[in-house]
């Protein structure tokens, strides 16, 4: 990865930090994002100590679209090239939270944030001779359903349902992005990292998390193990031209049936573009 620039979102801990660590150790110039400057700078210091590559820091609460746009502008100003974008940021909330944009937080952070950031950085990615967009989804997408009549959970909210919907949205977005980028130098793939020992969902955990996770923790993957598939998709030479696929344990596998619904993917893209006020070439299906 020497000479390549990789941007990893949500990299102040857990899978994101482990992903950045693996990539900086392989010689990549790594840039990380976090919502707290102190934690993000601390993570960057650890990454710099672990590898010889440069590490840049960008700070934004990615559930807030204005902050995503400001951060994207700063990224474009400071990074002359982006070879890999790892859309890792995500979260889980058992109760319904609303963002600064008036949107349900799970959908806003897990889907709309990577959708918006990817589109804002797409021209820079296209300038790379072989760029990759890697989006961290979850096996939870298999129980997901895109409820176009209640995307924001205003009529009925369940933390688990909102999460699985957002993870299905990640896969639909990835497949549609790959289709729209057909014939370009940019690939797009999604992945399931496994069940990993992190502080995921700790801000607002469901009962099952409070009581069962401590019991299951010894059997969960470490953050480094969870990051392995992200690192593989970001760096494996064999995947240079592989796009529109889903991976788990660094191997390609078939995602859930609804993730291959092109009509739903196109509709989700349009709805998402409207929600983030995005219009441009990337919005047009091929």
- Set out the domains of the chain in order of their start, with CATH numbers: 5-256 (3.40.50.720)
- Where would I find the H helices in 14-154? 14-25, 37-50, 65-78, 105-107, 113-126
Of 214 and 51, the structure prediction assigns the larger pLDDT to 51
Tell me the mean pLDDT in the region 176-200. Answer: 84
Coil, helix or strand for 221?
strand
- Give the chain's mean pLDDT: 89
pLDDT at 227 over 90: no
pTM higher than 0.75: yes
Q: Is the dihedral of CA 9, 103, 169, 242 positive or negative?
A: negative
pLDDT digits (tens, 9 = 90+) for 1-55: 788 999 999 999 888 999 999 999 999 999 999 999 999 999 999 999 887 667 9
Q: Give the pLDDT mean for 49-68.
A: 90
Select the more confidently predicted residue: 53 or 196: 53
Least confident of 28-32, 71-75, 183-187, 226-230: 226-230
Catalytic residues: 163
Predicted pLDDT of residue 1: 76
Asked whether the predicted pLDDT for residue 214 surpasses 60, the reply is no
Whose structure tokens read 């699985």?
Answer: 164
Number of neighbouring beta carbons within 10 Å of residue 42: 15
Better pLDDT: 133 or 284: 133
In this structure, the dihedral spanned by the alpha carbons of residues 266, 124, 50 and 52, taken in order and rounded to 10 degrees, is 150
- Rounded to an integer, what distance in angstroms lies between the CA atom of residue 191 and that of residue 136? 5
Phi, psi of 207 (to 5 degrees): -60, -40
CA dist., res. 8 & res. 10, Å (int): 7
Q: Are 96 and 150 in contact (CB under 8 A)?
A: no
Which DSSP helix (H) or strand (E) runs through 85? strand 84-87
Between 87-91, 161-165, 207-211, 267-271, the lowest mean confidence (pLDDT) is in: 207-211
Among 62, 87, 63, 76, CA closest to 7? 87
Distance CA 129, CA 27 (A): 18
d(CA 158, CA 94): 7
Local structure of 144: helix, strand or coil:
coil
Place 208 in a pLDDT band, splitting at 50, 70 and 90: low
Q: What is the mean pLDDT of residues 114-118?
A: 98
Instruction: Say how far apart CA 165 and CA 105 lie, in whole Å.
Output: 12
Secondary-structure breakdown of the chain: helix, strand, coil percentages, each rounded to the nearest 5: 50, 15, 35
Q: How far apart are CA 193 and CA 247, in angstroms?
A: 9
Residues near 118 by Cβ (< 8 Å), separated by ≥ 6?
Answer: 85, 87, 133, 177
SS3 state at 4: coil
pLDDT-derived band at 200, boundaries 50, 70, 90 = low
């Amino acid at each position: 990865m020497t000479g390549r620039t990789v941007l990893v979102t949500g990299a102040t801990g857990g899978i994101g930090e482990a992903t950045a660590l693996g990539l900086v150790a392989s010689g990549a110039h790594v840039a990380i994002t976090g919502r707290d400057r102190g934690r993000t700078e601390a993570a960057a210091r650890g990454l710099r100590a672990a590898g010889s590559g440069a590490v840049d820091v960008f700070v934004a609460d990615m559930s807030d679209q204005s902050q995503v746009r400001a951060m994207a502008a700063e990224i474009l100003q400071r990074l002359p090239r982006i070879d890999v974008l790892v859309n890792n940021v995500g979260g889980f909330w058992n109760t319904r939270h609303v963002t600064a944009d008036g949107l349900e937080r799970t959908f806003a952070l897990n889907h709309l944030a990577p959708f918006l950031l990817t589109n804002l950085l797409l021209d820079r990615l296209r300038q790379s001779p072989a760029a990759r967009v890697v989006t961290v989804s979850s096996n939870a997408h298999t129980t997901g359903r895109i409820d176009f009549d209640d995307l924001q959970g205003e009529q009925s909210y369940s933390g688990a349902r909102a999460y699985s919907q957002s993870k299905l949205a990640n896969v639909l977005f990835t497949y549609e992005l790959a289709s729209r980028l057909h014939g370009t130098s940019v690939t797009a793939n999604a992945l399931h990292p496994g069940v990993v020992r992190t502080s995921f969902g700790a801000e607002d955990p469901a009962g099952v998390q409070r009581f069962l996770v401590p019991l299951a923790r010894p059997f969960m993957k470490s953050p480094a193990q969870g990051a392995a598939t992200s690192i593989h998709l970001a760096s494996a030479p064999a995947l240079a031209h592989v796009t529109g696929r889903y991976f788990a344990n660094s191997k390609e596998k078939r995602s859930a049936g609804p993730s291959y619904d092109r009509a739903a993917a196109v509709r989700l893209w349009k709805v998402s573009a409207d929600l983030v006020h995005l219009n441009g070439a990337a919005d047009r299906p091929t």
